[in-house]
Structure 1
Amino acid sequence: MKQIIFCVIVALSSVIAEYKYETKYFKVPLDHFGFQRNETFNIKYLVNDDNWDRGNGPIFFYTGNEGQIELFAKHTGFMWEIAAEFRAKIVFAEHRYYGSSMPFDKKSLDKEHIGYLSSAQALADYADLINFLQGNVVKPRYPVIAFGGSYGGMLAAYFRIKYPHVVIGAIAASAPVHMYPGMAPCGVFNRLVTSSFKTVDINCSKNIRQSWAVIRNYTKTPAGQEVLNKTLNLCSPVKNATDLDTLMEFLESMYSTLAMVNYPFASDFLTSLPAEPVRVVCQYLNETLTGEKLLKGIGKVVDIFTNYDKKNPCVNYKEGDDYGNLDAAGWDYQACTEMVMPMCSNGVNDMFEPQPWNFTAYAEECHKKYGVYPRPDMARLEYGGNRLQAASNIVFSNGLRDPWTGGGILDSLSDTVRAVVIVDAAHHLDLMPSNPSDPEPVKIARNIHKQHITRWINQFREQLMTTRKS
């Protein structure tokens, strides 16, 4: 396919280095799997080949997930840091329907146009792009390693499973491939979030558990609403039940995010936060609190989460899951179609209000929003869930601080589908830029990744030599 290129040199500052890349665009079909629609559009990808051995150096390929690709390029320092050692080209590909890779521009997320957003379509985009980078030859000369974190980690693994002739191996960090219906308890995520806070201080998780009723109580009178709005510094006052539900969902998402990005260093990955953010916020909830004192404690937690960089005059809780740096508006549609990951809480084994998993209600809400019904078994049947014994050359890494570990592969499935469990690590910390505060298990995990990458590249080159001789 003809490539449309628009180059911009960008420098991203990290803890240690600046990451420089060219921004390019590649034309892909709107629909890879049907023949009735012939439209095309451009997906964005970022490239750095400063260290690349153009003779036979590998391509390190990041399978972009739900958000603008620049954010993942900035925070996937592991790829950048090992590129010189492996003499690799670095490519970060943006997922269709995110960032600038919109097939219908501003109308892309409308009901009428969003139907071509799926993991399978995105993987086909990536396969086409790599075929282009290989020169559209029958026998590729460059070994390609897929990298990804979170949903991107799932995609990296799925890429290797579905296109083993395109990528020779995958580093799949914090990939919850076991989170589909019937595969993991619906309450495991919220229990692990709670554990992050409870481990710091049991009073912290207890206070959060008690806070839901306190917040609801404040909304019962106009005077209480005024206190709530002021204490939490809300941009929009809570005026009705809908506003209250939105606020509660925002707070739930806040605690989940704090647990996910509970890194040992300050980070602006999803939002600007201090080092050890769970420990920081728990200092305001480290004794038994009630009533207004508890509400003020929650207000301080909210302030850390929303305004650590002192750039936000108030809390825009109506942004919900979209709060922060990641523009992931399309994910809700994916969760309403193929990426069905049941979540529930009981208020006993976790610090949240009781919320049972109700697939019927969930499905009807999806139909109301998008005119579609979820297919709860689709991803498991498409990609295998955790029955991946027939796969090869995949490393699944999971940190025990990360609540998504509850849906991760924690035991090696074969000699070539390996699990790396990282003590004291949050969400795909092993892929982030190295930092003096990194715990030793993270450093060990990165070395294990390098060992696998070396073996995969050597296998590819041996096979290439054998093919040439024959």
Structure 2
Amino acid sequence: MDGRILFLLTLLFIISSCHSYKYRTYFYKQKVDHFSFADRDSYIQRYLISDEHWNRNGGPIFFYAGNEGDITLFAENTGFMWDIAPEFNAMVVFAEHRYYGVSLPYGNKSFTAPKYTGYLTSEQALADYVELIVYLKSAIHGAEKSAVIAFGGSYGGMLAAWFRMKYPHIIQGAVAASAPILQFTDLTPCNKFGQVVTADYARESSKCVEVIRKSWAAINAVTTDEGGMGWLTNAWKLCQPLKAQEDVKNLKDYLTNVWTNLAMADYPYPADFLAPLPANPIKVLCTQLTDPGHEPKALLQELFSGLAVYFNFTGKAKCMNVDQQADVRLDDRGWDFQACTEMVMPFCYDGIDDFFEPSPWDFKAYAENCHQSWGVYPRPLMAPKIYGGKDISAASNIVFSNGLLDPWSTGGIMWNVSDSVVSVIIPEGAHHLDLRGSNPSDPQSVIDARMLERAFIKIWIESHVSKKSA
């Protein structure tokens, strides 16, 4: 097996469970550099397998293209794959993306220098997935002729789509949910994302939008001196005190991410994907933000009552930690590096058509910050050059799904490219709602989307089986 053998550690036969999902944990020895003829160091990639419902005589493999975080997080929040595995007699596999979770090519050194971090690319990650699938089909009896269907949400959805585009001989189809493959320079205007976030809040309350829009000036007014910073530190129960304007900037960056994360996770039932949240969290938050006419301190106290919906819905948080924007299993380090190399996604806000603090897209400043942080400069056109941008007419067998509540839909494929590359729109859907497990509170639009996705999966599998039988 070219030296890349399957590594079975002590967890081999230990059953892990996430909700009702059960899987076994395995490790596979991957090359660090798949595209060099020189020998390179290897690393251990984690992946999860469930074969509870698998037909061992060639049943399909449902393969999740892991994205920017610990793979267990995505296994716990991709219930659609688990729900339909019995219907298709499928094996379920979740592969961890290199440089995330425990799959660190250089261990603790992985993020210390470009010579180590430079192997963190979508191309290398896709090559990992190819190697892993080829190994599994050769090592697992009965899988030799199995159809492989890729799934992914968000960046994982981008990977699933690109996987099918670049390696159509390895996978037979892909369900790419909330996959913003067009969220790049010259493909999608930088202001559209913030407008969708704002529209999500406006659906609930115009006053809610105005409170948030006015909060930026209120923060600036209150934090002009140490006394004001101390007041806001205490009023908002901040874990780390505000001592300088850089701290204030970090606080406002946190708020920008909170408002965005709530739009992404505005699910119709309680969920804990990015943080433990109630059903319809924006609606719940906006019940607290009702008076934009307050003077600055009163306005910020009101805003804090809404913030608690995000950072302290469980009531267990002792303080608000602005350094933790989402589930700790999502790794900011790896994504920050990717955003400074190939995943350059421009965002800008004007404070008029959106409720964010005005912030133009300044690529020069962005690039310099990347160089200071990582010693690299961004390649803003690299991803469109590699994967085609809007010109994906040669692709086949991909379902792109997008929810209209999801701000990432602005960079998604929202039209049918061909008969086999189709777009599914979910008007009431937030971020990859269709990949989540079935729930009694699901809107009809997501139920219909999943039915269509299942229909295409069936077609792809049947086509593969007929070709193998010919």
Q: TM-score, normalised by structure 1?
A: 0.96
Quote the Cα distance in structure 2 between the aligned partners of 1:145 and 1:421. Answer: 21
Contact (CA 8 Å) 1:153, 1:171: kept in 2 or not?
yes
Q: Residue 448 of structure 1 aligns with which residue? A: 452
State how 1:241-390 maps to structure 2 within 5 Å: 241-290=245-294, 291-319=296-324, 321=325, 324-390=328-394
Q: Which moved more, 1:405-414 or 1:229-238?
A: 229-238
Q: Which moved more, 1:221-230 or 1:305-314?
A: 221-230
CA distance in 1, matches of 2:233, 2:308: 13
Judge conservation of contact 1:30–1:37 (CA < 8 Å) in 2: no
Matched AA of 2:261: T
Instruction: State the Cα deviation string for residues 384-411 of structure 1 (Å, max 9, x = none).
Output: 1121110000000000000000000010
SS at match of 2:288: helix
Q: Deviations over 1:195-214 (max 9, x none)?
A: 11111101111110100010
Alignment match, 2:130: 127
Output one character per residue of 1:251-299: Cα deviation in whole Å (capped at 9) or x when no partner.
0000000000000011111111111011111111123332222111111
AA aligned to 2:120 is L
- Whole-angstrom CA distance in 2 between matches of 1:323 and 1:66: 12
- What's the offset of the Cα at 1:329? 2.3
Structure 2 distance, partners of 1:376, 1:166, is 28
Partner of 2:411: 407
Structure-2 separation of matches of 1:349 and 1:195: 9
Residue equivalent to 1:9:
15
TM-score normalised by structure 2 residue count: 0.96
User: Does the alignment pair 1:25 with 2:31?
Assistant: no
How far the C-alpha of 1:232 sits from its partner, in A, is 1.2
Question: Shift of the alpha carbon at 1:239?
Answer: 1.0
Q: Which residue pairs with 1:66 in the alignment?
A: 68
C-alpha offsets along residues 131-178 of structure 1, whole Å, 9 cap, x if unaligned?
Answer: 0111079x9400000000000000000000011000000000000011
Q: Give the equivalent residue in structure 2 for 1:104.
A: 106
Contact kept in structure 2, 1:322 and 1:328, CA below 8 Å: no
Equivalent residue, structure 2, for 1:206? 210
Does the Cα contact within 8 Å between 1:391 and 1:417 map onto a contact in 2? yes
- 1:347 Cα deviation after fit: 0.8
**Structure 1 counterpart of 2:50, which letter?**
N
Contact in 1 for aligned 2:122/2:159 (Cα 8 Å)? yes
Aligned to 1:382, the other structure's residue is in SS state: helix
What is the total number of aligned residue pairs between the two structures? Answer: 460
SS of equivalent residue, structure 1 residue 457: helix
Which of 461, 464, 468 in structure 1 is aligned with 2:468? 464
Contact 1:65 1:151 in 2 (8 A): yes
2:165 alignment partner in structure 1 = 161
Unaligned runs of 5+ in 1: none
Mapped contact 2:58–2:144 kept (Cα < 8 A): no
CA contact (8 A) 1:146 1:171 kept: yes
Report the residue type matching 1:252 in the other structure: T
Q: Give, in whole Å, the separation in 1 of the partners of 2:351 and 2:398.
A: 37
Q: More deviation in 288-297 or 346-355?
A: 288-297
Q: 1:113-124 alignment to 2 at 5 Å?
A: 113-124=116-127
Q: Runs in 1 of length 4+ with deviation above 3 angstroms?
A: 321-325
**Following the alignment from structure 2 to structure 1, what is the Cα–Cα distance between the partners of residues 369 and 332?**
19
Identity %: 47
- How far apart, CA to CA, are the structure 1 residues paired with 2:176 and 2:340? 23
C-alpha separation between the residues in 1 aligned to 2:177 and 2:447? Answer: 14
Helix, strand or coil at the partner of 1:265: coil
Structure 2 gap segments, 5+ residues each: none
